[in-house]
């Protein structure tokens, strides 16, 4: 009886909240084009993920450089001292590391009142070919782990994260949002895939995930507003990161097969090396960018020398500092969750040196599709 009752409850929630989890989608067909420069391993492009956005998500993928155009770097809500160059760009923004506490408390603070949803927060809608035209919205980082193992991190950038509704309140919003999919290759063959979800995520055997018409490129579903990555459409109860229940909870994500985004058509491409194993002949940091500290973050080497690299060494935040409690725009629940929270750190902080597929202290490899 309990099993039957649970099935009825799940069906009721499905009727109230939309399509059930795990719905298979028709394999899409995308051109397969990429802007990868010479030297990028062909398998990193061949097996690159495709991302389905949610149709109701107004905060789409965003141009990484535009985040600098629309924000001002601040410490404690105060503009930085007269550091040069000014304005900053993606290749010089690591000079901000000279401000505040070695740059760690620098925040790219919106020039506009984000509660009024300025247009730049909305990013770009991919065209019919999956391209975010005139906007570089992805960063691909290739990491050699030895013994034929290579991790390719596909980093997705959004100008804004909408946190959703919790106990009747809109909480968890922040300027700037970095999410990622990581594909682990062994001798050029994809073996497993990590999908980032808030502070955690899920690891799947590559063969488990849905694919495009070529049968090669895994399909990823980006949650409405939060942009957490999932393997299936539908409801995702995220009250406990280790258990994805098929019924709504306090913190929920929703995915569907909306606009299709092909991130590698408009991306920056890099190799990453840990400081202790820098290969002979590696170019040192540009001498004019004195704050670039490779002893902490490793070395990012662009496949195309014209590609900006400084932003990867920036140690500050990609959005505003959490608004003060007396800010009329702010709201909270018991000071545990806030309507407008602090922006995220950048790609260098996504545990590029991880040994396992998962980035958390514990994890497991899933071999079937789950919410």
Structure tokens at 315: 């140690």
Whether residue 365 lies inside any domain: the answer is no
Query: What is the predicted pLDDT for the residue at 187?
Result: 98
Beta bridge partners of 253: 236
| Closest to 346 (Cα-Cα) out of 180, 205, 219 | 180
Does the pTM exceed 0.85? yes
Burial class (CB in 10 A: 0-12, 13-18, 19+), 360: middle
Instruction: Compute the chain's Rg from CA coordinates.
Output: 20
Query: What is the predicted pLDDT for the residue at 115?
Result: 97
| DSSP labels, 246-292 | SS--SSEEEE---SEE-GGGSEEEEEEE-GGGPPTTPPPPPTT-TT-
Domain of residue 231, residue span:
40-275+291-349
The helix/strand/coil state of 179 is strand
Tell me how far apart the alpha carbons of residues 46 and 188 are, in angstroms, rounded to a whole number: 10
Q: Is pLDDT of 290 > 60? A: no
Whether residue 188 lies inside any domain: the answer is yes
Whether residue 266 lies inside any domain: the answer is yes
Going 38 to 44 to 309 to 110, the CA torsion angle's sign is positive
Listed in sequence order, the residues at least 6 apart from 62 whose beta carbon sits closer than 8 Å to its beta carbon are: 120, 121, 123, 124, 135, 137, 157, 158, 159, 160
Structure tokens at 53: 């956005």
Q: Structurally, how many domains does the chain consist of? A: 1
Whether residue 142 lies inside any domain: the answer is yes
| DSSP labels, 10-36 | HHHHHHHH-SPTT---PPP-------P
Tell me how far apart the alpha carbons of residues 185 and 208 are, in angstroms, rounded to a whole number: 15
Q: What is the pLDDT of residues 77-98, one digit of tens each?
A: 999 877 777 788 999 999 899 8
Whether residue 345 lies inside any domain: the answer is yes
Whether residue 9 lies inside any domain: the answer is no
Q: What is the pLDDT of residues 98-144, one digit of tens each?
A: 899 989 999 999 999 999 999 999 999 999 999 999 999 999 999 99
* pLDDT above 90 coverage of the chain, percent: 72
Q: Is pLDDT of 175 > 80? A: yes
Across the chain, which distance is largest between two alpha carbons, in Å?
71
- Res. 294 pLDDT band, cuts 50 70 90: low
Whether residue 25 lies inside any domain: the answer is no
Asked if residues 342 and 330 have their Cβ atoms less than 8 Å apart, the reply is: no
Q: Is pLDDT of 249 > 50? A: yes
Tell me how far apart the alpha carbons of residues 365 and 37 are, in angstroms, rounded to a whole number: 32
Beta bridge partners of 236: 253
Whether residue 360 lies inside any domain: the answer is no
Q: Where are the alpha helices (DSSP H) in the chain?
A: 2-17, 42-46, 66-69, 294-297
Tell me how far apart the alpha carbons of residues 65 and 44 are, in angstroms, rounded to a whole number: 24
Query: What is the predicted pLDDT for the residue at 3?
Result: 33
Structure tokens at 312: 């990867």
Tell me how far apart the alpha carbons of residues 196 and 356 are, in angstroms, rounded to a whole number: 14
């Amino acid at each position: 009886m309990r099993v039957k009752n649970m099935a009825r409850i799940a069906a009721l929630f499905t009727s109230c909240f939309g399509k059930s989890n795990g719905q298979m989608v028709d394999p899409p067909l995308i051109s397969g084009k990429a802007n990868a420069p010479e030297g990028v391993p062909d398998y990193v492009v061949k097996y690159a993920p495709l991302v389905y956005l949610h149709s109701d998500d107004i905060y789409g993928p965003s141009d990484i450089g535009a985040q600098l155009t629309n924000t001002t770097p601040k410490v404690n809500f105060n503009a930085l001292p007269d550091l040069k160059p000014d304005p900053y760009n993606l290749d010089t923004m690591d000079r901000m590391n000279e401000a505040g506490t070695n740059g760690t408390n620098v925040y790219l603070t919106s020039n506009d009142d984000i509660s009024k949803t300025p247009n730049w927060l909305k990013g770009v809608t991919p065209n019919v070919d999956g391209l975010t035209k005139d906007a570089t919205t992805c960063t691909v980082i290739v990491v050699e782990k030895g013994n034929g193992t290579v991790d390719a991190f596909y980093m997705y950038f959004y100008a804004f994260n909408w946190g959703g509704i919790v106990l009747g309140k809109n909480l968890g919003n922040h300027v700037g949002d970095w999410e990622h999919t990581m594909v682990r290759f062994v001798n050029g063959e994809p073996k497993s895939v990590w999908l980032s979800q808030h502070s955690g995520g899920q690891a799947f055997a590559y063969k488990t995930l849905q694919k495009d018409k070529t049968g090669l490129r895994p399909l990823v579903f980006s949650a409405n507003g939060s942009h957490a990555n999932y393997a299936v459409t539908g409801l995702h109860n995220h009250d406990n990161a280790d258990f994805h229940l098929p019924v709504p909870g306090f913190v929920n994500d929703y995915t569907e097969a909306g606009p299709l985004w092909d991130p590698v058509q408009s991306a920056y491409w890099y190799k990453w090396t840990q400081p202790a194993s820098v290969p002979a002949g590696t170019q040192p940091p540009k001498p004019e960018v004195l704050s670039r500290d490779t002893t902490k973050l490793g070395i990012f080497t662009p496949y195309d020398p014209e590609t900006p690299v400084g932003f990867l060494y920036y140690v500050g935040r990609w959005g505003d500092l959490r608004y003060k409690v007396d800010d009329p725009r702010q709201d909270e629940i018991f000071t545990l969750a806030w309507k407008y929270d602090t922006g995220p750190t950048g790609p260098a902080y996504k545990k590029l040196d991880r040994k396992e597929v998962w980035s958390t202290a514990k994890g497991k490899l899933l071999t079937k599709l789950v919410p």
